[in-house]
């Protein structure tokens, strides 16, 4: 299947999941996860209307944003090492993977240098998997309160990478719990936050994630094929 055909297919599934959940299609934004894929693949996706790409390596974001002249935006969705943060100002519009105070402080420092404010999400390890990064669910509130004090970060919500599974229904519990956490966080009205974003759902489970309230879905394989 071509990227174009894949995108038509993904779009149809997003639309149907929105319908099932009684949500408006405009509430869900598709992030095309282009990690490891060549610029020509991103350009093909752009011809099909994609403007937002997700990447997990700082170097790839630098290279691709250099190569692509059209106005597109990149989201940093992968684990971020503190020593790489300095390359991100001006290159990304959101960081989805903030899970350590030291990382948040480095983001603060680097974005202060360019006098810009970066939208961030806190990554939560909902299933408690040893192999994954992210905060434990019970750490989230105190973590958000702490990093909300940093004036060059704006906390927009939460992100999770659910367990890899053949059965997307088994991840519904995690998506639902993350949504509830996000709603509670929003009610706290913590200064320095604007909690309206829930980044959850990948190729294997984005329809369930949309049913449970995702506002960003991050789809790679389903658009660009196997990596
Ligand atoms: C690779 C990746 C995705 C996309 O995964 P697919 O299963 O290919 O859709 C989404 N989110 C993150 C954080 C990733 O690293």
Q: For 82-135, how does the pLDDT look when each residue is reduced to its tens digit (9 = 90+)?
A: 999 999 999 999 999 999 999 999 999 999 999 999 999 999 999 999 999 999
| 137 CB near ligand 1 (under 6 Å) | no
CA-to-CA distance for 128 and 217, rounded, in angstroms? 21
Q: Which atom of ligand 1 is nearest to the CA of 77?
A: 13
Of 133, 142, 200, 132, the residue nearest 171 (C-alpha): 200
Residues contacting 91, CB < 8 A, separation 6+:
61, 62, 65, 74
pTM of the model: 0.97
Q: Which domains does the chain have, with CATH numbers?
A: 3-224 (3.20.20.10)
The pLDDT tens digits for 11-41 are 999 999 999 999 999 999 999 999 999 999 9
Ligand 1 midpoint to CA 54 (Å): 8
């Amino acid at each position: 299947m071509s990227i174009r055909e894949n995108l038509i297919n993904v779009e149809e599934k997003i639309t149907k999941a929105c319908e099932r959940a009684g949500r408006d299609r405009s509430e869900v934004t598709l992030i095309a996860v282009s990690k490891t894929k060549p610029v020509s693949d991103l350009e093909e996706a752009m011809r099909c209307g994609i403007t937002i790409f997700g990447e997990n390596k700082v170097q790839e974001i630098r290279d691709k944003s250099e190569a692509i002249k059209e106005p597109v935006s990149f989201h940093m969705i992968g684990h971020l090492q503190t020593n790489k943060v300095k390359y991100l100002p001006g290159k990304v519009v959101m960081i989805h993977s903030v899970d350590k105070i030291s990382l948040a402080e480095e983001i603060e420092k680097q974005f202060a240098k360019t006098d810009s404010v970066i939208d961030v999400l806190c990554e939560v390890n909902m299933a408690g998997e040893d192999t994954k990064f992210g905060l434990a669910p019970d750490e989230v509130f105190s973590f958000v309160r702490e990093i909300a004090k940093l004036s060059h970060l704006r906390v927009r919500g939460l992100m999770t990478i659910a367990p890899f599974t053949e059965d997307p229904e088994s991840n519904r519990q995690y998506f639902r719990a993350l949504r509830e956490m996000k709603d509670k966080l929003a009610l706290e009205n913590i200064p320095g936050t604007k909690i309206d974003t829930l980044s959850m759902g990948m190729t294997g489970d984005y329809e369930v994630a949309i049913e449970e309230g995702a506002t960003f879905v991050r789809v790679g394989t389903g658009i660009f094929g196997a990596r």
